[in-house]
Homo-oligomer: A and B are copies of this chain.
Amino acid sequence: MKLSSRRRFLGNVAWAVPFATSMKPNTIFAQKKGMFIHHVYFWLKNSGNKEDRAKLIEGLKKLSKVKTIKNFYIGQAAGTRRDVIDSSYDISWLLFFDSAADQDSYQTDPIHLKFIEECSPLWTRVVVYDTIDAAT
């Protein structure tokens, strides 16, 4: 990590401190007003097909280059099984944005449009949950 990046990283600590009630020891992020969380679950047409799965993951890695994305996480269903758990999806895509406007911008970003064009034939179902702060 370059010094300039480290300075920006430490810059995040500064805004995190006022939200002391939301902070945990060794925290990686803090509840922050304005932050926008976009969580997408994909069900593949050919669920269990390793090539299609790899194509979607590769597409998401390219998609992660959209500049307004603060952080992303490419996931798959964990091995947990309870009545309330939906573990039927193939891939999850968790995004953090600094604002709702940044997420709006992501929706029409050329990289996003290209991702949809290239990868949408892979999936049969998508469910999105968009979330903003409710606790500060």
Contact = CB atoms under 8 A, between A and B. Distances in A.
A26 B70 contact: yes
A26 B41 contact: no
A91 B132 CA distance: 10
B24 A76 contact: no
B71 A131 contact: no
Contacts of A57: 134-135
Interface string A34-54: 011101010000000000000
Contacts of A22: 64, 72
Contacts of A60: 135
Interface in A1-43: 1, 5-6, 8-9, 11-13, 16-17, 21-22, 24-31, 35-37, 39, 41
Given A89-B129, A94-B131, A100-B78, A73 B37 contact: yes
Given A29-B28, A64-B24, A94-B37, A134 B75 contact: yes
A28, A41, A72: which has the most chain B beta carbons within 10 Å? A28
A128 interface: yes
5 contacts: A28-B29, A57-B135, A75-B134, A84-B128, A85-B129
